[in-house]
Amino acid sequence: MVDFAETPEEQMIRSTAGEIADEFGPEYWREKEESGEVAWDFWDELGEAGFHGLLVPDEYGGADMGLQEMGIAMETLCAEGCGMAGTWYLVLTAGMAGVGIREHGTKEQKEEYLPQIAKGDIKFCIGITEPEAGTNTLNVATKAERDGDEYVLNGKKCWITFSDVADRIMLVTRTTPVDEVDRPTDGISLFLVDMESDGIDVSPIPKHGINYSNSCEVFFEDVRVPEEDMLGEEGDGWWTLVDTLNPERIAFSAAATGIGKLAAKSAVEYTNDREVFGGPIGQYQSLQFPITEAWSRMETAALMRQKAAWLFDNGEDCAYETNVAKSVAVDAGIDAVFHSMQAFGGWGYAVEYDVERWWREINLTRLAPVTQQMARNHIAQEIGFPKSY
Ligand SMILES: Cc1cc2nc3c(=O)[nH]c(=O)nc-3n(C[C@H](O)[C@H](O)[C@H](O)COP(=O)(O)OP(=O)(O)OC[C@H]3O[C@@H](n4cnc5c(N)ncnc54)[C@H](O)[C@@H]3O)c2cc1C
């Protein structure tokens, strides 16, 4: 039975997210973007609202909810004023590390990390991407070699968001090199590495937007990690990782429709006021229709995101639905911001109207966490095309 009615919990999450977004609106993010400061007061507010703990089981102090509720929280935060930050400050710790530990952590790891995640007392970054491997995650080369009851890490990651301020990194390594395994998915192992460990060096990469956080190169030189910091089974880390990648894509799907709706609402408001030829420019269908069309596609994408989240929350395979939701949400969101910026005319280029910042923010969603092409590769295979790579 399909039921589109929101539960009282979902309504509560939506209204709380709306209140937070009222407090941390576009002006706040304009200042953070300019100053390059991490928004710790926003982080703390998400903690007060219980959002860091949405996916944490209640026995560890969380709300024991699912990606369905997390998607609503993220999309609403983004759409009601926070832009990308509404997803950015929740996806890595609460979304990925929290889910990875919840699903694959040892009893000790759950007891150590989940209560801290729920309270917002610990920050994770996620170390997947490497300069040589790129999109081909199975080619990661960061090595983890056993030495007694420790592992020694050597390698290099890039673009690791929040790695300059995180307490721990959920790190993707190889305990067996790719050319020595039967299947390329074998030999990958994950660790929850203390970012204070000797031998870790972090260097921010200057970037196009989302400057209220740094994304960095991270170097590992003979970093020693106790064996109990491995997440999941040695050599089986690929499957642990996959369980965190679908939540990340669902989160970015919520970000794309959220930012797109924020820009569109802002354009509607502006074009109702702005008069050029004796009436509001918003009356011209050449301004209305491109935004309306993108809006309709965002609404459709949001439904697919909800289906993907429902499947994930019910322990079903959700990869196909997740990639459909992500690719459609991103295309629609980008079109919404593009046409909203056009509706502002020259003022769309001015920092004070924010739409230029949302344009820089939404551009990331076509490149990360999975590129639009790689999402389409997945869909292409699912509908029967031969694998192209
Ligand atoms: C701001 C920012 C924050 C990020 N944060 C993190 C983070 O916290 N943690 C992390 O691990 N990573 C992070 N990333 C990395 C991001 O996930 C990667 O940049 C992304 O996955 C693409 O990898 P790449 O840049 O190496 O592109 P490449 O793999 O070099 O790909 C380049 C282009 O080729 C295309 N391409 C490659 N192979 C195929 C194929 N088979 N078929 C069709 N097209 C193909 C790609 O789609 C892409 O358009 C972040 C990136 C950015 C920009």
In CATH terms, the fold of domain 8-123 is: Butyryl-Coa Dehydrogenase, subunit A; domain 1 (1.10.540)
Q: What angle do CA 364, 366, 372 make, to 5 degrees?
A: 155
Separation between Cα atoms, residue 101 and residue 116, nearest integer Å? 12
Choose which residue among 88, 129, 205, 249 to substitute to test ligand 1 binding: the one with the highest number of ligand atoms within 8 A of its C-beta. 129
Please report the pLDDT score of residue 305 as a whole number: 98
**Is the pLDDT confidence value at 1 over 90?**
no
| Summary mean pLDDT of the chain | 98
Mean pLDDT of the region 22-36:
98
CATH 1.10.540.10 domain locations along the chain:
8-123
Separation between Cα atoms, residue 329 and residue 294, nearest integer Å? 10
Give the architecture (CATH level 2) of 239-382: Up-down Bundle (1.20)
Nearest CA to ligand 1 atom 44: 373
Mean pLDDT of the region 313-341:
98
Can you tell me which atom of ligand 1 is nearest the CA of 131?
26
Single-letter residue type at 74: M
**Is the pLDDT confidence value at 171 over 90?**
yes
Structure tokens at 211: 């400057």
Nearest CA to ligand 1 atom 26: 134
**Is the pLDDT confidence value at 88 over 90?**
yes
The fraction of the chain above a pLDDT of 90, given in percent, is 99
With a Cβ cut-off of 6 Å, ligand 1 is lined by 125-129, 134-135, 159-161, 207, 210, 215, 364, 367-369, 371, 373-374, 377, 389
**Is the pLDDT confidence value at 63 over 90?**
yes
Q: Is 22 helix (H, G, I), strand (E, B) or coil?
A: helix
**Separation of CA 368 and ligand 1 centre (Å):** 6
Separation between Cα atoms, residue 127 and residue 104, nearest integer Å? 17
Please report the pLDDT score of residue 2 as a whole number: 85
What are 284-307's pLDDT values in tens digits?
999 999 999 999 999 999 999 999
CATH 2.40.110.10 domain locations along the chain:
125-236
Separation between Cα atoms, residue 169 and residue 192, nearest integer Å? 6
Separation between Cα atoms, residue 277 and residue 117, nearest integer Å? 54
Can you tell me which atom of ligand 1 is nearest the CA of 389?
41
Nearest CA to ligand 1 atom 20: 368
**Is the pLDDT confidence value at 17 over 90?**
yes
**Is the pLDDT confidence value at 228 over 90?**
yes
Q: Cβ neighbours of residue 301 under 8 Å, at least 6 residues apart?
A: 253, 256, 257, 325, 328, 329, 332, 333
**Separation of CA 89 and ligand 1 centre (Å):** 20
Separation between Cα atoms, residue 337 and residue 328, nearest integer Å? 14
What are 90-146's pLDDT values in tens digits?
999 999 999 999 999 999 999 999 999 999 999 999 999 999 999 999 999 999 999
**Separation of CA 374 and ligand 1 centre (Å):** 9
Separation between Cα atoms, residue 254 and residue 248, nearest integer Å? 10
CATH 1.20.140.10 domain locations along the chain:
239-382
**Is the pLDDT confidence value at 322 over 90?**
yes
Whether domain 125-236 has CATH 2.40.110.10: the reply is yes
Neighbours of 99 (CB within 10 A): 22
